[in-house]
Structure 1
Amino acid sequence: MSQPAFRHQELEYMPLKLKSIMARANLSQHDLVKRMPAGLRGPTCRPTVSRILNWDEWPVNIDRDSIVEAVEALLREAHVSEADIAQAWQPDSPEVRYLHPKFKSKPPLGDDPMIHRKEALTEQARKHWRLFKDPFTDDINAPEDVFLADDQRYVREVMYSAARHGRFVAIVGESGSGKTTLRRDMIDRIRRERLPIQVIQPRTIDKNTLTAGAICDAIVLDMQPHAKLRRTLEGKAREVERLLTESSQGGYSHVLMIEESHDLSVSTLKFLKRFWELEDGFKKLLAIILIGQPEMKNRLDERNFEVREVVRRCELVELLPLDGKLEEYLTHKLQRAGVDYAKVFAPGAADAALAKLIQKVGKHDYVSMAYPLEVNNLTTRALNAAAAIGATSIDADLIKEL
């Protein structure tokens, strides 16, 4: 039996509407392969069918009409309408076309560390999945919205314990790993439970310029908003110690929280140790929680001689990827939006999503990027893509095509 022959040409990904119609009718590519004409059967049948479906490329040595006739017979047996059958051989919409990694107009990722760029949930997807709120955008509005697997719960309790008992900790995680969410959660928890803890947050945007004097000012202004600031560092330090001591004797604890801490200068890191060493008897006057990206892990390495005195006193805690908790995370997010995970994702979809979020680093190393932001972006794309083709659920094959 001769193999199908194709014209040699550079092709652009061009899925036929047939692919979307089959998805809605619960027909697989394997169903299509079994119905192909005799001249197309054999080991080359599956890749030939794939080229027809995805690239609108037809073998030149096999009668096209016989393929069309066999496919349309299959569609009628699956109760597909004549209107859909008439459109089956037309190219699908751009919303579907861009999903393929070889699609030419897909924007290059360049040096952006994010695997999947931010994409808004389309109106079509909202209607298709009956999502009256976006589960993945501006989604944290109450304590119940915060997903807490074992790792997140551990980091959350470390932060809480640090604030209450004067510890010095650094929370490290990739961009989008949930660091800011846990910071917001802790502040909300302090207010909600009416805990006697004063939260202090320097407002300096460029943390590389944050100085000991600016930290003193932040402490004073967060504790006494209308206080007159001292001019000298000596005066600032004395005022800070006085305020913290008086407040501590009144039953309060204090925590200094600094985001983007990976940008802090060496001198500021050293000054933070001095702040942390302020005491009233056996009680620490100021807990410190640094929050930053993985670069901070390198800064706080024991081998970094410049900051060794800080490293030996600062406890480093790392936010890990969701990995084995991916399905649990998506179940939580969809449940908060009033949707059942099992009605959206087919079995195996979460595993395919996790595989999609594994990134190769160097020749032999791999790293998981299954952090909430990346998962949110990938899931939104999957919801949009499935809605565009009218699929009743998101399966592993669709995830792989994103």
Structure 2
Amino acid sequence: MRRLKEVLADLGKGQADLARAVKLSPATIAQLINHNLWPKSIDKQELWGRMADWLYEAGAQDNDIAALEEEVEPPRWRAAAPATPPENNQVNDQECDDMLMAKQVLRPDTKRAFGLVRDPFDELKAADEMYLSPDIRYIRESMYQTARHDGFLAVVGESGAGKSTLRRDLAHRLRNEPVIAIEPYVLGMEDNDSKGKSLKATHIAESVMAAVAPLEKAKSSPEARFAQMHNTLKASHAAGFRHVLIIEEAHSLPIPTLKHLKRMRDQLELGFDKLISIILIGQPELLIKLSPRNGDVREVAQRIEIAQLQPIPVGDLEQHLAFRCGYAGKQLGELIDQGGVQAIVERLGSSGKDGTSQLYPLAIANLFKAALNLAAEIGESVVTADVVKGV
């Protein structure tokens, strides 16, 4: 029934106007329009008749009404299912919906409706704006200790789990520490040269030289360049500095480069002191490359520590949302009620592959903002369970 939204817009009417006319809640109308979920308590044809009558009175054109009627009850010769579908089709439609959505932005009218001067899920501007679940706190500290002292660490998480936020936080924490962060550019990086530009050991050596000794000209031959890098790291270490190599999108690293990184860890040393720590940050595909069963990288898998970013626990979701609302100067109850929080759990708690939780910060933020936009559109004072289901 997405076309119904277009017809309402052409008439200058909103979903709330239609809801009042047919004596249903705005959230119920939102579920009908966005997900084709018809209320079970009312006969479908009876409800459509009431809607059609109101649309005619509001000025809708005959062809628009006819097109909508075909969506409600398609001609049998075009129908892919019986003319009157079984009730459990509603459940199937809901199960087939994409549970994760693209990036959402709060509309200006939404901000006005809820008195928001900033987006509760806006990009973080300071470290104290991070919500630290026990899992994030542990991985955050692991990254810091690796950078500050020594280690070979892989941070793995789904898209939107908070990897980039942790990387920015680490850079912030190291600003006043004697640690030089080396971050090779990974724009366009792929794991082979047929798909994009692969990151090779020589590129990493160039990045080390640029970060540690930017005024020194890099040697031309690979062997001389690696020797130069080693000597540069020794001199920097003697001056009291530590060095950490941070590579984002590490799931796109070629296998040879992963093996070279392990050799850098082994050979770039001064006595018992390792001269460079390494932090790889990537999506779950990195786990496959680093599997101990992968013979090509067995030597790497035996040396590297893997930290996986887990979804926010169901029991922590309310605290997470309250923290984000506080960031925007609002109490949680001013934006969403308990039913709405539970609906987010039901929507994202088992929406991944094999029923896995998708309660990651980005997915939560997008669903919450979409629900706020819908609540403002239909005139709800807070996000309720029906509003979340109507997104």
**Please, what TM-score do these two structures have when normalized by structure 1?**
0.74
The equivalent residue for 1:135 is 120
Please name the residue that 1:199 is paired with: 181
CA contact (8 A) 1:22 1:28 kept: no
Contact 1:270–1:310 (CA under 8 A) maintained in structure 2: yes
- Residue number among 157, 162, 187 corresponding to 2:141 in the alignment: 157
Shift of 1:321: 1.0
Q: Return closer, same or farther for 1:48/1:255 CA change in 2, 3 Å cut-off.
A: same
Structure 1 residues 255-278: Cα deviation after superposition (integer angstroms, max 9, x where no partner): 000000000001100000011122
RMSD: 3.3
For 1:326, give the aligned amino acid.
Answer: L
Higher mean C-alpha displacement, 113-122 vs 238-247: 113-122
- In the aligned structure 1, how far is the partner of 2:165 from the partner of 2:105? 20
Task: Find the partner of 1:375 among 364, 368, 384.
Answer: 364
Residues 27 and 387 in structure 2, CA contact (< 8 A), matched pair in contact too: no
For structure 1, the 5+ residue unaligned runs are 1-9, 30-44, 65-85, 92-101, 104-111
1:235 aligns with 2:257: no
Q: Which amino acid counterpart does residue 313 of structure 2 have in structure 1?
A: D
Greater CA radius of gyration, 1 or 2? 1
Q: TM-score, normalised by structure 2?
A: 0.76
1:244 Cα deviation from its structure 2 partner: 1.2
Among the aligned pairs, what percent are the same residue? Answer: 35
* Mapped partners of 2:210, 2:168: distance in 1: 20
Alignment deviations for residues 167-212 of structure 1 (CA, whole Å, 9 cap, x no partner): 0010001111110000000100111xx1111100001423331111
Q: What does residue 125 of structure 1 align with? A: 110
Q: CA deviation at 1:58?
A: 4.2
| SS of equivalent residue, structure 2 residue 41 | helix
1:344 equivalenced with 2:335 (yes/no): yes
Distance (Å, rounded) in 2 between the aligned partners of 1:178 and 1:20: 42
Mapped contact 1:386–1:394 kept (Cα < 8 A): yes
Partner of 2:261: 272
Q: Which residue of 2 aligns with 1:96?
A: none
Cα distance change, pair 21–375 in 1 and its aligned pair in 2 (3 A): farther
1:114 CA displacement: 7.5
| 2:105–2:369 CA contact under 8 A, matched in 1 | yes
Equivalences for residues 358-373 of structure 1 within 5 A: 358=349, 365-373=354-362
Q: Which runs of 5+ in 2 are unaligned?
A: 6-14, 29-38, 60-70, 73-96, 191-197
2:235 equivalent to 1:246: yes
Tell me which residue corresponds to 1:255: 244
Q: Which residue of 2 aligns with 1:7?
A: none
Match of 1:48 in 2: 42
1:176 aligns with 2:160: yes
SS in 1 for 2:356: strand
The structure-2 alpha-carbon separation of the partners of 1:235 and 1:344, relative to structure 1 and needing over 3 Å to count, comes to same
Partner residue, 1:390: 379
Amino acid at match of 1:246: A
Report the number of matched residues: 328
Going by fraction, where is helix more abundant, 1 or 2?
2
- 2:100 counterpart (115, 138, 144): 115
Equivalent-residue separation in structure 2 for 1:242 and 1:379 (angstroms) = 52
| Greater alpha carbon shift after TM alignment, 174-183 vs 204-213 | 204-213
Question: Which residue in the other structure is 1:186 paired with?
Answer: 170
1:166: which partner in 2?
A: 150
Change (3 A) 1:394 1:361: closer
Q: Give a deviation string over 1:239-293, Cα, whole Å, max 9, x none.
A: 1111111111222111000000000001100000011122222221100000000
1:125-166 CA distances to partner (integer Å, 9 max, x unpaired)? 0101111112223x2101121111111111101100111221
The yes-or-no answer on 1:223 pairing with 2:217 is no
Q: Quick one: which amino acid aligns to residue 171 of structure 2?
A: I
Distance 1:46 1:251, change over 3 A: same
Query: In structure 2, what is the equivalent of residue 306 of structure 1?
Result: 296
* Separation in structure 2 between the aligned mates of residue 381 and residue 59 of structure 1, nearest angstrom: 25
